[in-house]
Amino acid sequence: MEKLEQGLLMQPWAWLQLAENSLLAKAYITKQGYALLVSDLQQVWHEQVDACVVSQRAKELNKRLTAPPAAFLCHLDDLLCPLLKDTACPSKATFVCDRVAEALILRVRSELSGLPFYWNFHCTLASPSLVSQHLIRPLMGMSLALQCQVRELATVLHMKDLEIQDYQESGAVLSRDRLKTEPFEENSFLEQFMVEKLPEACSVGDGRPFVMNLQNLYMAVTRQEIQGRPNHQGTGDPQPSSSASPQGTENQVLNQPEEPAPSLPVPEKEPPGTSGPMHRPQLSKVKKKKLRGLFS
């Protein structure tokens, strides 16, 4: 399940509008199971299941369908991909969000092999550590990265001002007055930004601005977070869930009956008194040479 947790962390957030519900969501699906994270900016819900749970739930909701868990996971990935990635191709499913006590149930209805297909994502409240891992720590890292970016840009502007000053001292004259700028003052700029731009810039709304403008930075920060872990094995970044879905020949392999592994031949015991490999004569010769050398 560690692969699911790491893969989910590196997925971008998507903005969903399901009836009157505005949600942020991210998902990661493999042949072994799936992980889903949903938030309405007030609470965060999470579900992570393996192939056994997928198989059992599929039997309960789709009694007319019989398929291996990998086939159901592949179909779920096909349904969620257009929804989460905002592609031009609409999802071939209907999604309904229901809240029961502290849980959130995302109901899916579509077709599979010409038959109705139903699925329910049962999401419970996420643990504080999970919220920290997917939201608090990445957002703190993004804030620090943006602050560093602002400092770098301020340094570049100071260098540009020095370059312009050098041109002016060398006698250069600006040909168009409308292009003239004042030397950059960082403190004045920050004060003006706080008064004039901050209210609009920090308007979170329903979370859509965060999804539309900052997901590249979010994924870069989470990737850096994973690579900086002490137990990181360096096995490479998890691929997007759509590429990890079982397709093609993998389904054929799953449908084939398992063959017993060929047993290794058991070496025959040597009869007593027979000479073994070359090691035994060599050892005996070396021993005799040592004896002659010691007592001669």
Model pLDDT, residue 264: 35
Model pLDDT, residue 276: 40
Domains and CATH numbers, the chain: 1-126 (2.170.210.10), 139-227 (1.10.287.450)
> In degrees rounded to 5, what are phi and psi of residue 74?
-65, -40
B/e letters for 244-265, b = 16+ CB within 10 Å, e = fewer, are: bbbeeeeeeeeeeeeeeeeeee
**Dist CA 183 CA 48 (whole Å):** 54
Model pLDDT, residue 86: 67
Whether residue 240 is predicted with pLDDT greater than 60 in this model: the reply is no
150-162 pLDDT per residue, tens: 999 999 999 999 9
Model pLDDT, residue 234: 45
88-125 pLDDT per residue, tens: 566 778 999 999 888 999 999 999 888 999 999 999 99
* Three-state SS letters, 107-167: EEEEEECCEEEEEEEEEEECCHHHHHHHHHHHHHHHHHHHHHHHHHHHHHHHHHHHHHHHH
Whether residue 261 is predicted with pLDDT greater than 50 in this model: the reply is no
Q: How confident is the model at residue 87 (pLDDT cuts 50, 70, 90)?
A: low
22-56 pLDDT per residue, tens: 999 999 999 999 999 999 999 999 999 999 999 99
**Dist CA 79 CA 94 (whole Å):** 9
Whether residue 185 is predicted with pLDDT greater than 60 in this model: the reply is yes
* Helix ranges, the chain (H): 2-9, 51-61, 69-85, 128-131, 137-169, 186-196, 198-201, 208-227, 249-255, 279-295
The reported pTM is: 0.72
Whether residue 217 is predicted with pLDDT greater than 60 in this model: the reply is yes
Whether residue 224 is predicted with pLDDT greater than 50 in this model: the reply is yes
Model pLDDT, residue 137: 95
Model pLDDT, residue 1: 60
**Dist CA 30 CA 113 (whole Å):** 21
**Dist CA 255 CA 260 (whole Å):** 15
Most confident by average pLDDT, 83-92, 170-179, 251-260? 170-179
Model pLDDT, residue 147: 94
Neighbours of 139 (CB within 10 A): 14
